[in-house]
Amino acid sequence: MNHAYHVRYAPMALPLVFTSLFFLHSILNPTRSDAHAAAEAAEGAPDSSETDAVLHLNLETLLQQPHRLPALPPEQLDSETLWLARCIFSETKQPHEQELIAWVVRNRVETAYRGKTTYREVVLDPYQFSAFNPGSPKRAFYTSLGLTSSMPGWQRALSIAHHVRHAPDSLRPFPLETRHFYSERSMPEQTSPAWAVGLHPVAPARLHPVDTRRFRFFADVT
C-alpha cells in the first residue's frame, strides 16, 4: 500500500519541486528585463540636489503668491514665528504686503539692528512698530493672538511668518540692509517720516507691484 502511494503520487510532486526551484532562481538571478527596469528606475530617481532645487522653486513660487500658503499645525510653529506673525498682521491684512514686512523684520534680526537679536525683541523695540508702542490701544489685542487663534487671515499670517523665517537668503526680495518702511496712509499729518527725507524707496523683487501709498521700503537708514 505504501509502495502504491509512492508510485501513484510522486510524479505529481515533481512539478511543484521544479516550480519552487524556478521561483527561487528568479529571485536570486533577476532576468535581464528586470535588471534593466531596476537600473532605469534608479537613473530616473532625483538626487538630493534635484529635490532641494524643486523645493526651492516651490517655495519661491509660494512666496511670490503668499495667499496660497496653507495653514500649518501649531506644533510646527514656535514663539519667534508667533511674534513675527503678530507684527506683520498688525501692519496689514494683505498677504503680499505681510511677506515683505516679514523680510524687513528678519533683516533687523539678522543684522542685530538697534542691538535686538530675536523676533520678540525687534517687534517690542519701542517706537519701531506702531501697534506695539507703549500705551498703544492695539498692543493688548495683537499680543493676545496665539498659535490657535481663529481670527480671519491670522493662520495665513502665521504660515507666511514661518516660511519667511526659514526661507534661504536667495529669496530675499530686497537687500539685507532694508530694515525700514512706512505707510503714507497711516500718516495723515505728514507725507513721510524724518528718516526717509532724501532717500529713494527700494523696489522689492516680487510679482505683485507695491502700492507706494500703502508701503515704501528703504535700505541703509542710519
DSSP output for 58-86? HHHHHHHSGGGPPP--GGG--HHHHHHHH
The answer as to whether 46 is a domain residue is no
> 84: closest CA among 14, 166, 13, 206?
166
Q: Does residue 182 belong to any structural domain of this protein?
A: yes
Total tally of structural domains belonging to the chain: 1
DSSP state of 182: E
Condensed to tens digits (0 to 9), the pLDDT of residues 107-134 reads 999 999 999 999 999 999 999 999 999 9
Domain hosting 167: range is 53-219
12 found inside a domain: no
Which residue, among 125, 132, 162, 137, has the nearest Cα to 147 in the 3D structure?
162
Cβ-proximal residues to 108 (8 Å cutoff; 6+ apart), any chain: 114, 116, 122, 179
SS3 128: coil
- Residue 24 inside a domain? The answer is no
The helix/strand/coil state of 116 is: coil
pTM metric for this prediction = 0.73
Q: What backbone torsions phi and psi does residue 43 show, to the nearest 5 degrees?
A: -65, -35
Comparing C-alpha atoms, which of 123, 108, 103 is closest to residue 204?
Answer: 103
pLDDT (tens, 9 = 90+) of the chain, 222 residues, equals 444 334 343 444 434 333 443 433 443 444 444 444 434 333 433 344 544 444 455 777 777 777 778 889 999 999 999 999 999 999 999 999 999 999 999 999 999 999 999 999 999 999 999 999 999 999 999 999 999 999 999 999 999 999 999 999 999 999 999 999 999 888 877 778 999 999 999 999 988 788 999 999 999 998
Residue 143 lies in a domain: yes
Residue labelled with grid coordinates 521561483: 23
Report if residue 66 sits inside a domain. Answer: yes
Domain contains 15: no
The answer to whether position 214 is within a domain reads yes
